Each structure stands twice: as structure tokens, then as C-alpha cells.
Amino acid sequence: MSTVSRRALVSVSDKTGLEDFVKGLTELGFEILSTGGTRRFLQQAGIPVIDVTSYTGFPEIMDGRVKTLHPKVHGAILGRPTLPGDATAIEQHGIIPFQLVVVNLYPFQQTVARPDVTFDEAVENIDIGGPSMVRSAAKNHAHVAIVTQPQQYAEVLQQLRSGALDEAYRRRLAAAAFEMTATYDRAISDYLAKVVSDNSESSFGPRLTLSFRLQQTLRYGENPHQRAAFYVEDHPTPGTLATARQLNGKELSYNNLLDLDAARAAVLDFRQPAASVIKHNNPCGLAIAESLADAFHKAYEGDPVSAFGSIIGLNRVVDAATAEAMCAPGRFIEAVIAPGYDADALEILTTKPKWKANVRLMQVEFTDADRGAPDYRRVSGGLLVQDRDDLLQSDAGWQVVTKRAPSQAELADLKFAWAVCRHVKSNAIVFAKDGMLLGAGAGQMSRLDSSIIAAFKAGERSQGGVVASDAFFPFRDGIDAAAKAGIRSAIQPGGSKNDAEVIAACDQHGIAMMFTGMRHFRH
Ligand SMILES: NC(=O)c1ncn([C@@H]2O[C@H](COP(=O)(O)O)[C@@H](O)[C@H]2O)c1NC=O
């Protein structure tokens, strides 16, 4: 038996804060045992360390695949010295129990997050010995404290200095340890499931396990009587809402988050400066222009009544002109999401009386990295999974089906209206002109009702404009309503058994129509 009273096993990949922590442990009388890399790191810092191989009498083998997987290591972690049977085994096999185990794992999640990662690299970053020690120590928390994160170091030292780590504290450490190994294993199984599904005919594996961590609890859900929280992925893709930073304003609500996501998505599709105005998850305004300020102005004026209390999405760094336009008298905005705010814009938006401390300003990188990610929707007792309908659009395969082809200006508006349309709840009808959404018929149970609403919203402005429909027009009535409003061009997927009747209606009204061959339902 050793004469030292306390032993710690330290084996970590992330060496953050390690030197100070282990120095603290040695000052408290701990003898330190470590694996190769950790031992070298600590010795370079002048800390006395025993190599774990000199304790086990067995070398590290197979490029480190086996370093701590030894009965003298696991016996020293799992042994219960207070039990006669365990005490005998400890004595017989020359085991020296550990009171503290400090382990963090190979960076599997960070490795597979790299776009250029190879399968072999990913596999080599699956830690085996580390989780085994963590699980052993967490199971035996009655005798052993398990430390798995650098963030725990300061508190652990403080607890040790004030006496000992009591059982309740060790149990908390054990709970954190099992949570860590569960997350780690889930990351491995998700990665492998993705590799398997990418290589198989069906993209969907036999089981789906999702893991999210709590980012914030929310005051309430869609309504005040509903509890709510925002959970995010462990390593969210840059540019997603989970990575957005709040620069100003009140606490975010559940509905704010939903609308901010829609506001960002609606402007992400455009390469020109674009602005979206979101209400209840639908754009009531959306526009593109030469400058961001003009885009915002056109978007807000698309439907200024509905825009009151809206969420704004902007796809350029906000400048002073756009900031001034958003603060103009009579405009009321709840939140803004943009890739940034220049110093002048931030000054304006954080000092204007109604904005300061009120309007939520969110900053997020605008990238395409998240496109095509899976989309999940809860139904009672299950989860619906699909590819998100957000791939960059192309006009390859579009065809003119009417006698008249759209003019260049009409074609530009048709492309714009088609891009807007997939952000509107079905049945979606969009009237647009000059890069500006004039009227949206959203979420109606009949396409004709959506057409009538879009025409009503657009009013006189729809003269010479275009209409986009997220799914085919089943009858000519939607086209008749658009023609009555002065629409000159239409875009829709086509594919109805009544296509001939709808095309004839367009020809009769002199409307040019294009079929895209792709539907954009958004239920
Ligand atoms: N194979 C083993 O027996 C083993 N024992 C500990 N590890 C891991 O090796 C890392 C530390 O290694 P080193 O001290 O050599 O830098 C830790 O992240 C630890 O979790 C192992 N590695 C992987 O499984």
C-alpha cells in the first residue's frame, strides 16, 4: 500500500486550465498519475507526475488505443475500500485506489464538425479508455470524484480546500459525467448513422435520436399559459438562429424566435440587398433593391398596416440610412436580424427612445451552410422528418406555357415572386412588382381566397405586376382574379389536370405564364 493518502488520475485531451488545477491538487497532497501526453504536459510545467504505465506495469500500445484499459486502473477507480471483499482484492493485486479522476475525451464532435474530416480520422477520435474511466468513476461516486470539464476545476479545488468533496457534490459531478458520456455517444451514433444513411438507398435510419442542450428558458410559449424553452444543438452550424447574438432589446419570446428564423430565411435567398417584414411567420413585406435602406422601405411599405409590430430580416450589414428608415415615425418593429450593424446604425438603434432597451437586435452570420438540413415536426406520438425546402433555386427547366412570353422585367419579377412564395404558408399566392411584395394570400384553405386576399392587399399597385402560386392553380378562377387585378404574368409549378383550362385563361387575358415543375407547399 502507498503511504500517500490521496491519488488523482489525470488523462485529458483539452489541457485548458490544467496546470493551475493540478498544481492546486499537488499542494493539497494529491499524488498525480497520468497518461503519456498529459504526463508530458504536466512535467513540462514542473509538476511531479507518475506515468500510469509504471503503476500498471503495462505499456501504452496500439498508438494509444490501449493506455488505461487495465484492471489496476479500473480496480483503483471502481474499488470500494470499505467493503471487505473489495479491500482484499485491492491488497492482493497491488491496487492503489484513486479518490479523484480527471478526464476529458478525444474531441470527436469538433473533429466531425470539420468539413474536410475523413472517416478514418473520425473513427480514431472515438475515445474508448476515457469514457470507460469516466463511467467507472461516476458509478463509484460514493468513493471517487469525477471531473470532466475545465469549468469544474475552480469549484473542485475550492471544495477540496474547504474540507472534502462531500457525497452530494460527488453525485452532482457523476450526473454531469454521465450526461457528458451520453452526449458523446450520441454524437458518435449520429455521425455513423449519417454515414450509413448517406451510403444507403434510404436516407432514414431505423432509429432517430436527437440531442439538444438548453440555451434559455422562455417567459412562455405561443401563449402565456404555455411553458417554453429554447434548446440548441451542441455544435450548431454558423448562421443558424442558435448562433445569433442579441445586441439590444428585451428578452426574446418564443414567437420572436420563430419569426426571426423566418425573417432570416426569407432574405437569405437573395444576392441583392433584401429586407423581409414578418408577421405570424409569414412575410407581409419583402423587397430587393440597390441599397438596403431602399429594400427595407419597399418591404415595409408593401403592407404598412400589417407591418406594425413586425420582425425584420436584412441580408446586409445595417447602415445608418436603414437604421433611420426603421426608426421613422409611425413604424413599430419588435426585432431585427441581420449579419451586422455598423457603428452609426448601432448608435441610432440603441439610443432612439422607443428602440433603446426595447427592440431586439440580433446579429448572425449569413451563410448557406445550413441549407438542406433536416426539418422536424412533432405530431402526437411521433416526429415527421423531411429535407428542408430551402435549397438554392434554379430556373433550369422552367418553361413558358402561354402564347406570350414574359418580358425581361416581368421575368425578373417572376423570379422574385417565386422566391418569396416558398416563404408564405400554403395556400400561398404572391403579387409582386419591381422587386417588391405587394400582397400575399397566406394560409388560406382555398387558393381562390388566397388570390382574392393578395389582390385586395396589392390594390391598384398590382397593375402590370406578377403572380406566383406555391402549387398549381386547380381552376382558372385564381387566374381570373389575378387578371381582374391587372396582373400581367404568372408563375406556378403546373401539373394540374386542368392545366389546359388555366393556360387558356391566361391566353385569353394576355397573361404570360411559366411552369417551374416544382411545388413549394408550406403547411
Ligand atoms: N485507450 C485508452 O486506454 C485511453 N485512456 C485514456 N484515453 C484518452 O486519452 C486522452 C489523454 O491522452 P494523453 O494523456 O496521451 O494526451 C484523454 O482524452 C483520454 O480520454 C484513452 N484513449 C482512447 O481511447
Look up the CATH number of the domain holding residue 109: 3.40.50.1380
Co-location of 420 and 326 in the same domain: no
Atom of ligand 1 nearest to the CA of 64: 1
Q: Is the ipTM of this complex over 0.95?
A: no
Does any ligand 1 atom lie closer than 6 A to the CB of residue 67? Answer: yes
Average pLDDT over residues 212-216: 94
Residue 378 lies in a domain: no
Atom of ligand 1 nearest to the CA of 103: 20
Tell me whether residue 520 is one of the annotated catalytic residues.
no
User: Tens digit of pLDDT for each residue in 491-501?
Assistant: 999 999 999 99
Q: What is the mean pLDDT of the chain?
A: 94
Average pLDDT over residues 189-195: 85
Q: Rounded to whole angstroms, how far apart are CA atoms 258 and 222? A: 10
Catalytic residue (choose from 23, 139, 250, 352): 139
Q: What is the pLDDT of residue 195?
A: 86
Does any ligand 1 atom lie closer than 6 A to the CB of residue 66? Answer: yes
Atom of ligand 1 nearest to the CA of 65: 1
Cell numbers found for residue 476 = 382558372
Does any ligand 1 atom lie closer than 6 A to the CB of residue 130? Answer: yes
Residue 388 lies in a domain: no
Does any ligand 1 atom lie closer than 6 A to the CB of residue 298? Answer: no
Q: Which of 32, 106, 124, 147 to mutate to test the pocket of ligand 1 (most atoms within 8 A of CB)?
A: 106
Q: What is the pLDDT of residue 201?
A: 63
Q: Rounded to whole angstroms, how far apart are CA atoms 210 and 208? A: 6
Q: What is the pLDDT of residue 496?
A: 96
Q: Quick check: 17 pLDDT over 60?
A: yes
Distance of CA 361 to the CA centre of its chain: 18
Tell me whether residue 280 is one of the annotated catalytic residues.
yes
Residue 69 lies in a domain: yes
Last residue of a domain, one of 344, 363, 382: 363
Last residue of a domain, one of 312, 339, 363: 363
Residue 383 lies in a domain: no
Q: What is the pLDDT of residue 196?
A: 82
User: Tens digit of pLDDT for each residue in 21-52?
Assistant: 999 999 999 999 999 999 999 999 999 999 99
Q: Rounded to whole angstroms, how far apart are CA atoms 91 and 158? A: 32
User: Tens digit of pLDDT for each residue in 275-296?
Assistant: 999 999 999 999 999 999 999 9
Co-location of 405 and 355 in the same domain: no
Q: Quick check: 183 pLDDT over 50?
A: yes
The residue contributing the CA closest to ligand 1 atom 8 is: 130
Cell numbers found for residue 463 = 397593375
Co-location of 250 and 159 in the same domain: no
Does any ligand 1 atom lie closer than 6 A to the CB of residue 181? Answer: no
Does any ligand 1 atom lie closer than 6 A to the CB of residue 127? Answer: yes
Q: Quick check: 262 pLDDT over 90?
A: yes
User: Tens digit of pLDDT for each residue in 307-363?
Assistant: 999 999 999 999 999 999 999 999 999 999 999 999 999 999 999 988 988 999 999
Co-location of 116 and 33 in the same domain: yes
How many alpha carbons lie under 13 Å from residue 483 in its C-beta half-sphere? Answer: 17
Number of domains in the chain: 3
Q: Which of 16, 41, 68, 105 to mutate to test the pocket of ligand 1 (most atoms within 8 A of CB)?
A: 68
Co-location of 45 and 158 in the same domain: yes
Taking the centre of ligand 1 as the mean of its atom positions, its distance from the CA of residue 112, in whole angstroms, is 18
Collapsing DSSP to helix, strand or coil, 155 comes out as helix
Residue 200 binned pLDDT confidence (cut-offs 50, 70, 90): low
Co-location of 92 and 159 in the same domain: yes
Domain interval for residue 52 = 6-195
**What is the percent of the chain with per-residue pLDDT over 90, rounded to a whole number?**
87
User: Tens digit of pLDDT for each residue in 390-413?
Assistant: 888 889 889 999 999 999 999 999
Q: Rounded to whole angstroms, how far apart are CA atoms 245 and 130? A: 34
Average pLDDT over residues 460-467: 97
Q: Quick check: 1 pLDDT over 60?
A: no
Co-location of 343 and 433 in the same domain: no
Taking the centre of ligand 1 as the mean of its atom positions, its distance from the CA of residue 68, in whole angstroms, is 7
Q: Quick check: 130 pLDDT over 50?
A: yes
Does any ligand 1 atom lie closer than 6 A to the CB of residue 132? Answer: no
Co-location of 261 and 358 in the same domain: yes
User: Tens digit of pLDDT for each residue in 339-352?
Assistant: 999 999 999 999 99
Does any ligand 1 atom lie closer than 6 A to the CB of residue 108? Answer: no
Look up the CATH number of the domain holding residue 429: 3.40.140.20
Taking the centre of ligand 1 as the mean of its atom positions, its distance from the CA of residue 80, in whole angstroms, is 24
User: Tens digit of pLDDT for each residue in 59-78?
Assistant: 999 998 999 999 999 999 99
- Measured CA angle at 455 (ends 449, 461), to 5 deg: 170
Q: Quick check: 466 pLDDT over 70?
A: yes
Co-location of 355 and 450 in the same domain: no
Residue 368 binned pLDDT confidence (cut-offs 50, 70, 90): confident
Residue 50 lies in a domain: yes
Residue 125 lies in a domain: yes
Atom of ligand 1 nearest to the CA of 14: 18
The β-bridge partners of 467 are 431, 490
State the pTM of this model. Answer: 0.71
DSSP state of 236: P
What angle in degrees, to the nearest 10, is found between the helix axes of 477-484 and 499-509? 20
